[in-house]
DNA sequence: CTGCGGTCCTGAAGGC
DNA sequence: TGCCTTCAGGACCGCA
């Protein structure tokens, strides 16, 4: 499922493909997945492709933007001129001025695109992990005042932006922290370990172009899978041996989704 | 404030 | 083999 590293990978690749191009036609095959007025962005030059949290932004010269949320299974495929074969789950097709095509796919129809004026954006996202605002001090402040379980807190987009189940699971494993532990009960040392683990894991995951493991529909813009799933130490490792201590990785339901952890080394 | 359950949706997996 | 049921899961919403 596209989290920060996946959306960032898509952003970088897409930017090289569509910067300075225009969208000349929008085909909406699934109405609920396209919000706003497509006419606002037709034939306007794309001046940037950005990201905030798990949301991709295609920014146009006239101040409008297409927001893209991939949710669980969303994909964007870029195909050069002439190779315009839709995917089985294509819901929206964007035709570009150079004859290329963008396919927005999602089997489950949870993903969406939205046309909005940048000035009208009301974002309630927390700190971006890869920016200079993400300091140990700022992280400590967030951790110290929350009675929530640490994993729930890390996935709260209004506190820390862009982390989902995969990367919170891996970061908590790396920092040897039990996912259900209350945030404010973390020691300074644990908080520091968690802070550095988040940065290291997010950066490594971007290097490997995201995770396309079991059940993961995420693909890069060219359709290829990412590689970070080969480095999972906890996520989807239920029943396997912990690579640190040899105990069996456990799965528990937490806040509606699966938490994976080592019952011996995560305290 | 917290936390829970329902909702959207459908492929995959499990049961018989 | 095949039908039927259950489950997963990001974000959001309503309710206790």
Per-residue pLDDT of chain A (267 residues; tens, 9 = 90+): 899 999 999 999 999 999 999 999 999 999 999 999 999 999 999 999 999 999 999 999 999 999 999 999 999 999 998 766 678 899 999 999 999 999 999 999 999 999 999 999 988 899 999 999 999 999 999 999 899 999 999 999 999 999 999 999 999 999 999 999 999 999 999 999 999 999 999 999 999 999 998 778 899 999 999 999 999 999 999 889 999 999 999 988 888 888 999 999 999
Tell me the C-alpha distance between A121 and A135, whole Å.
Answer: 26
Q: Which residue has the least CA–C1' distance to nucleotide C7?
A: A257
pLDDT of residue A11: 97
Tell me the C-alpha distance between A231 and A249, whole Å.
Answer: 15
pLDDT of residue A83: 66
Q: Which protein residues have any CB–strand C distance under 7 A?
A: A 1, 53-54, 69, 71-72, 108, 110, 155, 157, 164-165, 215, 253, 256-258
Sequence-distant (≥ 6) Cβ neighbours of residue A150 within 8 angstroms:
A143, A172, A177, A179, A180, A181, A182, A183, A186, A194
pLDDT of residue A88: 85
Contact indicator for A90, A105 with CB cutoff of 8 Å = yes
- Bases along strand C below 7 A from a protein CB: 8-12
Of the candidates A49, A54, A77, A69, the one whose C-alpha atom is nearest the C-alpha of residue A5 is: A54
A149 touches strand B (CB under 7 A): yes
pLDDT of residue A86: 75
How open is the CA angle A234-A240-A244, to the nearest 5 degrees? 60
Of the candidates A185, A152, A188, the one whose C-alpha atom is nearest the C-alpha of residue A168 is: A152
pLDDT of residue A1: 85
A152 touches strand B (CB under 7 A): yes
pLDDT of residue A94: 96
| Helix, strand, or coil (residue A201) | helix
- Give me the A residues in range 62-81 that sit within 7 A (CB) of strand B: none
Q: Which residue has the least CA–C1' distance to nucleotide C11?
A: A71
Determine the nucleotide nearest to A183 by Cα–C1' distance. B2
Name the packing angle between helices A188-207 and A136-144 (round to 10°): 120
Tell me the C-alpha distance between A210 and A74, whole Å.
Answer: 14
Tell me the C-alpha distance between A1 and A129, whole Å.
Answer: 18
- What is the set of active-site residues of A? 2-3, 54, 257
């Amino acid at each position: 499922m596209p989290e920060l590293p996946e959306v960032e990978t898509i952003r970088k690749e897409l930017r090289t493909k569509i910067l300075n191009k225009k969208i000349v036609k929008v085909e909406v095959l699934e109405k609920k997945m396209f919000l706003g007025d497509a006419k606002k962005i037709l034939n306007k030059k794309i001046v940037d492709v950005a990201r905030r949290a798990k949301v991709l932004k295609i920014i146009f010269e006239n101040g409008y933007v297409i927001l893209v949320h991939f949710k669980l299974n969303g994909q964007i495929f870029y195909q050069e001129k002439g190779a315009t074969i839709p995917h089985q789950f294509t819901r929206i097709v964007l035709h570009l001025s150079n004859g290329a095509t963008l396919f927005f796919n999602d089997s489950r129809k949870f993903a969406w695109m939205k046309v909005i004026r940048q000035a009208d954006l009301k974002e309630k996202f927390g700190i971006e992990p890869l920016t200079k605002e993400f300091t140990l001090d700022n992280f400590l402040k967030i951790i110290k005042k929350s009675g929530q379980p640490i994993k729930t807190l890390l996935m709260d987009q209004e506190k820390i932006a862009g982390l989902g189940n995969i990367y919170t699971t891996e970061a908590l494993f790396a920092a040897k922290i039990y996912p259900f532990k209350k945030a404010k009960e973390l020691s300074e040392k644990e908080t520091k370990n968690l802070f550095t683990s988040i940065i290291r894991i997010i950066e490594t995951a971007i290097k490997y172009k995201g995770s396309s493991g079991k059940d993961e529909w995420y693909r890069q813009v060219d359709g290829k899978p990412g590689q970070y799933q080969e480095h999972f130490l906890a996520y989807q490792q239920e029943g396997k041996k912990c690579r640190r201590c040899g105990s069996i990785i456990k799965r528990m339901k937490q806040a509606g989704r699966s938490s994976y952890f080592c019952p011996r080394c995560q305290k």
